[in-house]
Amino acid sequence: MKNKLINVSDVGWESWSHENNYGSDQKHIGDTAGAEKVGVTMEKVAPGMASALAHYHTKEEEHIYAMQGEATLYIDDEPHVFSEGKYICFTANSGIAHKIVNNSDADFIFLVVGSRDTHDVVVYPETNKVLVRSMNEVYDRSPTSYFNNDKEEQEK
């Protein structure tokens, strides 16, 4: 249902994790309220965890607001204290990679708000991969020949 009034306390947490260092609990607030063009997600990152790999978006603007606790916000590998009340916006196609790591002893809760663009490509410099949003697939970012079977190009 669109235009739905919700109580954020009633929205359940959804968890994800990868190995022992990436993961968070998420409340998909925007989806629950019927949002279509803007994503609004509350995230809770446990101590010792990172919310994602460092990344940037080519088409989506991403806003992050620290609600509770303290974490380290890496901006192009440079650490910054990110604590309650702080806010940052990463504009689309800025090329500025960012990630949040909770090095504290308590949960860190933040709000992420971003435009939804099906043409977005998420670039992950740490792993040299890209997520093509329209296909929901991750690819290696290594250069390649236009023609896969072009032996002359492959021998260069």
Looking at the domain assignment, is residue 90 inside a domain?
yes
Looking at the domain assignment, is residue 143 inside a domain?
no
Of residues 154 and 56, more confidently modeled? 56
Q: What are the residues whose beta carbons fall under 8 Å from the beta carbon of 60, sequence distance 6 or more?
A: 92, 114, 115, 116, 117, 120
Question: pLDDT tens digits, residue range 17-72?
Answer: 999 899 999 999 999 999 999 999 999 999 999 999 999 999 999 999 999 999 99
Looking at the domain assignment, is residue 91 inside a domain?
yes
Looking at the domain assignment, is residue 144 inside a domain?
no
Looking at the domain assignment, is residue 136 inside a domain?
no
Question: pLDDT tens digits, residue range 115-132?
Answer: 999 999 999 999 999 999
Give yes or no for residue 152 having a pLDDT over 90: no
Looking at the domain assignment, is residue 125 inside a domain?
no
When pLDDT is cut at 50, 70 and 90, the band that residue 149 belongs to is low
For residue 134, is it left (φ>0), alpha (ψ between -120 and 50) or beta? alpha
Q: For position 93, which CATH number holds?
A: 2.60.120.10
Looking at the domain assignment, is residue 41 inside a domain?
yes
Looking at the domain assignment, is residue 95 inside a domain?
yes
| Structural domain containing residue 98 | 10-119
Question: pLDDT tens digits, residue range 75-116?
Answer: 999 999 999 999 999 999 999 999 999 999 999 999 999 999
**Closest C-alpha to 10, from 26, 22, 27:** 27
**Closest C-alpha to 78, from 93, 98, 61:** 98
**Residue 90 in tokens:** 């990463």
pLDDT of residue 151: 58
- Please count the structural domains in the chain: 1
Q: Which of the 8 DSSP states describes residue 2?
A: -
